[in-house]
Amino acid sequence: MLETVEQETGASPEWAVIWLHGLGADGHDFAPIVPELVRPQWPAIRFVFPHAPKRPVSINNGMPMRAWYDIVSMDFRSRADATGVAESVQQVEALIAREQARGIPLQRILLAGFSQGGAITLSAGLQRREPLAGLIALSTYLPEVDAAAAQLVPGATVQPIFMAHGSADPVIPLQVAEHSAQVLKDLGFALQWQRYPMAHQVCAEEIHALAEWLQARFTQA
């Protein structure tokens, strides 16, 4: 089981959000977003921020760092190490199972991620036969996008997706993210797409839009 940082917004959480960080960061990276995101009327939520394992990253001269997968190419169609992606998806599945064991049903668990973490979020979402409450993919893309239709399992497309990106992102070009979003829409996902004048980061407008999207999830439950 991955080590995690956890925050609970109230006693006896009814919902869980598992949030995956980006390359070289750790579980503490997005913890400060909780007070900016959460609204007073929301149900109690457990935010789970796991630490990715440390592994050598090829494009960084093999330097070990926290990463959800190795980056083996500059071509986004083959950029992600498929074995590493699969391993991380399984580790995330273990975290989801733990939340179920703690009494939170799948329909009240959301999976979120930024950059590499978002790539794992989307990969995991494609393969979930029992759908989660939703997927949140920030400044990211879908690995192995050409194989997405083959990887999709029955029932997965009922999971709504919030996907947002910066128009000046120098790490993951906007058109790469837009292509991933279009592929997911074509597969049948209900996807809300947001674009902001920013780089590889998160902005206040994005957090507000995400809060609105989450509000709809809580209302529909």
Do residues 182 and 158 lie in contact, with contact meaning Cβ atoms separated by under 8 Å? no
Indicate the angle between helix axes 82-101 and 116-126, nearest 10 degrees: 70
165 is catalytic: no
- Is residue 156 within 8 Å of 174, Cβ to Cβ? no
Q: Is 189 within 8 Å of 163 (Cβ atoms)?
A: no
| 28 belongs to the catalytic site | no
Sign of the dihedral through C-alpha 118, 122, 128, 134? positive
Considering 21, 139, 169, 180, which one is annotated as catalytic?
169
User: Which candidate in 115, 123, 139, 180 is catalytic?
Assistant: 115
70 tagged catalytic: no
Which of 32, 49, 159, 37 has its CA nearest to residue 108?
159
Active site residues: 115, 169, 200
